[in-house]
Amino acid sequence: MERRKERILLCLCHLSGNEQKFVQEAFDSNWVVPLGPNVNGFEKDLEEFVGENKRVVALSAGTAAVHLALLNCGVGPGDEVLVQSFTFCASSHPITYLGATPVFVDSEKDTWNIDPDLMEEAIKDRIAKTGKKPKAIVPVALYGMPYKIDRIMEIANRYDIPVVEDAAEGFGSKFNGQVLGTFGKYGVLSFNGNKMITTSGGGALITEDDDHWREIMMYATQYRESYPYYQHEKIGYNYRMSNICAGIGRGQMTIANEHIAHHKKVQALYEELLKDVPGIHVHSQPNLPSGRDGGRLYDSNYWLCTMTLDPDLKVKGQENAYKQIITGAVGGAAGVIHAAESAHTDCEPNANVEAMRMGLDALNVESRPLWKPMHKQPVYKNAPAYVNGVSEELFKVGMCLPAGPYVTEDDVRFICEAIKSLIED
């Protein structure tokens, strides 16, 4: 198969022509600071999008949203927070910012998200071991897939523990017709450059009501009191979104539903083209009875499309996997300045998965392993973890495929043919 001249990227958000209008307005009005008409307008657009009479605060990052949500749940030194292990580090790092301890909970097989039964076991065990219940629960919409929020909320409400939904990857995903991020006490969104919509960088926090919205707004703007001078009665943060970034977001909101529809179309094409390939399995949402109003119970945005490779599947070049130590960034990785000391760690994708990644990369197709479970990250080696082996096994066999708005149907066909060509006869 010929190598493509253009690189097919994993997920890069497409900008429409509307962004320029809002950004130009910001410059024309000289509103180029972390507040302004675009920020207010973007928040109103998001409130309309998520519904359920929620309020939204636009912030500098999804990580900031997790941080402020946990802060407003009263998380502090000596506390514990249950968090999904199969996720990006932004779900757990803010727990440590507050001096608390993350308690990692493994996944269930259907959605790859937090296992509600294991979550309840963790709650009971932490109460038995520490004498107090966890301060919050953080489920994550992995790659946009809805978590089993009905079970999560039933358990959380029974133990009176607030839920912070990390829907950073799940913008527009729904469970039983309701947008993720609107079930728990707080919901987190992300608008990083690779998300469903982008503000170049940024995020938002979905809150329950005006009182929560007001308090989060205070924390996001250095907790400045209403005096003609700077008066601070609590420690705040410089987390507000800029008016320019919000202008990009307002333009993106005009095509948000188009982006979601495109990702679903790409997912369906992957499923169709790879369904008969031995050893390859495209992960899809649970096929359960319809939800309210005849819609799907699970309605994923398919932010990223994923597949797994059977361990015994032979991939060309597999013998060369992990032969070379990585010395810099791979794919979309950023901020990598340390050369790896070894080509191996104690938890890594199988050789055939790495060979597939390398083979696709040689054909100018970006792919990546799944998120490495947080309970296997060196920085969290001493954190409590309740595991069942699901996330570790998925990390060994799974990988992410291109799915962004720039990925065309022809691109998907090329990628699928590339995958087939890399499998040993």
- Under the banding of pLDDT at 50, 70 and 90, the label for residue 32 is low
pLDDT at 326: 79
The crossing angle, in degrees rounded to 10, of helices 18-28 and 243-253 is 150
Answer whether residue 22 shows pLDDT above 70: no
Instruction: Flag whether pLDDT at 296 surpasses 90.
Output: no
Q: What is the DSSP letter of 87?
A: S
Q: What is the mean pLDDT of the chain?
A: 93
| Nearest-angstrom CA–CA distance, 23 and 250 | 9
Q: What is the DSSP string of 118-143?
A: HHHHHHHHHHHHHSS--SEEE-B-GG
Each residue of 244-282: pLDDT tens digit? 899 999 999 999 999 999 999 999 999 999 999 999 999
For residue 98, pLDDT beyond 70: yes
Can you list the positions of beta strands (E) in 106-238? 136-138, 164-166, 174-175, 178-179, 186-190, 203-207
Confidence check: pLDDT of 62 > 90: yes
Q: Give me the mean pLDDT over the 285-290 stretch.
A: 81
Q: Is the pLDDT of residue 349 over 80?
A: yes
Of the ranges 18-32, 186-200, 235-249, 383-397, which one carries the lowest mean pLDDT score?
18-32
pLDDT mean over 66-81:
98
Among 114-118, 162-166, 242-246, 363-367, the range scoring the smallest mean pLDDT is 242-246
| DSSP symbol at 89 | G
User: What integer pLDDT is reported at residue 27 of this predicted model?
Assistant: 61
Q: Please state whether beta strands 136-138 and 80-84 pair in parallel, antiparallel, or not at all (unpaired).
A: parallel
pLDDT of residue 345 exceeding 80:
yes
pLDDT average, residue stretch 287-295:
70
Share of the chain above pLDDT 90, in %: 83
Q: Looking at residues 285-312, what average pLDDT do you find?
A: 88
For range 280-297, the mean pLDDT: 82
Q: Look at residues 161, 90, 164, 82 and name the one whose alpha carbon lies nearest to residue 115.
A: 82
Residue 41 Cα distances to 16, 24, 245, 372, angstroms? 18, 15, 12, 37
Query: What are the tens digits of pLDDT across the range 133-155?
Result: 999 999 999 999 999 999 999 99
Lowest mean pLDDT across 289-298, 311-320, 379-388 = 289-298
In terms of Cβ atoms closer than 10 Å to its own Cβ (0-12, 13-18, 19+), residue 44 is middle
Please state the φ and ψ torsions of residue 251, each to the nearest 5 degrees. -65, -40
* Domains of the chain, first to last: 18-253 (3.40.640.10), 256-421 (3.90.1150.10)
pLDDT confidence band for 87 (50 / 70 / 90): very high
* pLDDT value, residue 6: 84
pLDDT for the residue numbered 198: 92
> Residue 388: is its pLDDT beyond 70?
yes
- What pLDDT does residue 26 have? 59
- 172-228 pLDDT, tens digit per residue, is 999 999 999 999 999 999 999 899 999 989 999 999 999 999 999 999 999 999 999
Give residue 262's pLDDT.
97
pLDDT of residue 334: 66
Contact 38, 250 (CB under 8 A): yes
For tokens 């001096």, the residue is 99
**pLDDT tier at 131, thresholds 50, 70, 90:** very high
Band (pLDDT 50/70/90 cuts) for residue 31 is low
What pLDDT does residue 293 have? Answer: 61
326-337 pLDDT, tens digit per residue, is 777 666 566 777
Quick one: tokens of 333?
């990785």
pLDDT of residue 18: 75
Q: Closest by alpha carbon to 370, among 85, 18, 73? A: 85
